[in-house]
Structure 1
Amino acid sequence: MKDNNQTNNEELQEELKNEDINQSSDVENEVEETEASGIADDEKFASLDEEFKTKMEAKVAEAQARAKEAEDKFLRTHADFENIKKRLEKEKYNAIDYASEKFAKDLLAPIDALQMAILSANADIPAEDLVEKLKEGIELTVKAFNKAFEKHNITEVEYDEFNPEYHNAVMKVDSDDVESGEIVTVMQKGYTFKDRLLREAMVSVAN
């Protein structure tokens, strides 16, 4: 009887021992699987991190390229603007410096007419013809001046009614032809340039 019990105990101990061994083996397998899974996860994360890094580097490079392109475009636009600004300033200064050039050219015709009148006065012709030649020369000169004035928007002041803005009454005279305060005689003509008064007309007005 004692031998049977001893045998049973030995068998039980052997089973427990085998069970412990199996459990230890299972734990070791689980640890190994966990470690392998961790290594795989690390490799996966490393791969994802490298992919993200590559994408970010590509985006940064693209952004830098766009920024460089925008900077170049801005510099070109700024340079074009400066060139236009300089050209406009030069044109403005030239316009100011040579504003009277066209008017000066148009005054050459009246001068030519005066010179022709002077040449006629020096000619050996009868006095009556000389006076007529001088008159023609003066009329041509006045006509040339009026043409130049008209071309450059210089117009003669009107004299229909007395206007203190355009007329300077230098004297008063008796007149039966016009009402008191109205213009009797134009002693010196007045002129305007566009809408600006160049010179008042000197006039006499009725008492």
Structure 2
Amino acid sequence: SESVDWSAHWSEGHQGGLFQKFFSFYRKHVFARTVRYFLKRYFPHQGIFLEAGSGTAETSVRVDKHSGGRVLVALDIVFPVLKMCDPVMDARVCGDGFHLPFRDGSLDGIWNLGVMEHFTHEQIDEMIREFRRVLKDGERLILFWPAKNSIPQKMLKLVEKIINLKKREHRFQFHPDEISQLASNRQAREILARNGFAPLSVDWGLRSLMAFKSVVGEKNTAAW
């Protein structure tokens, strides 16, 4: 199940490995700068903001909270990982992106990274509509989403194949299966549009060293 897969991924034994220590370094020193840039550009300076699928929230360590004006909430389906969350998070909630424990129109921004690609297209639509429900009118959703043509992602897959050449009891993976990597910028815009968001930006991911595209949408207040 989803919870079991991610519980194993975030376990101390798995995270203590050499590869995962490298990913932790990358999250803190490379991707955290990307997150800071996009939240600064697209989110207001005050309000309540949700990282939906936070993991350890290491990529949020550089977010400017504007002297307490921004309240950051971490949400993850794996309860133990919330105990590992960086202190930058003001609140921690155990839950999933399909049933957010927030009132309609109560949040000022939502973001996540490395989350959407683990779900089917039907599940992705369901989750984004749930994001739309809890966002205030006119506020933004930012999704950091790996693309099929991502060079770093292809390199990781190659390493996985090499490691798995040796027979193992369990197939080696850096992360749980990524079944819905983005095929194109157009696909990202279509996903936003059909779920009630006006596409604002889909970039090529230069700030993340081409590992993730940055997909930004604004809650469309018109009927859809």
TM-score normalised to structure 2 length: 0.18
Higher relative contact order structure (alpha carbons within 8 Å, sequence separation ≥ 6): 2
Which structure: larger Rg?
Answer: 1
Where is the strand percentage greater, Structure 1 or Structure 2? 2
Where is the helix percentage greater, Structure 1 or Structure 2? 1
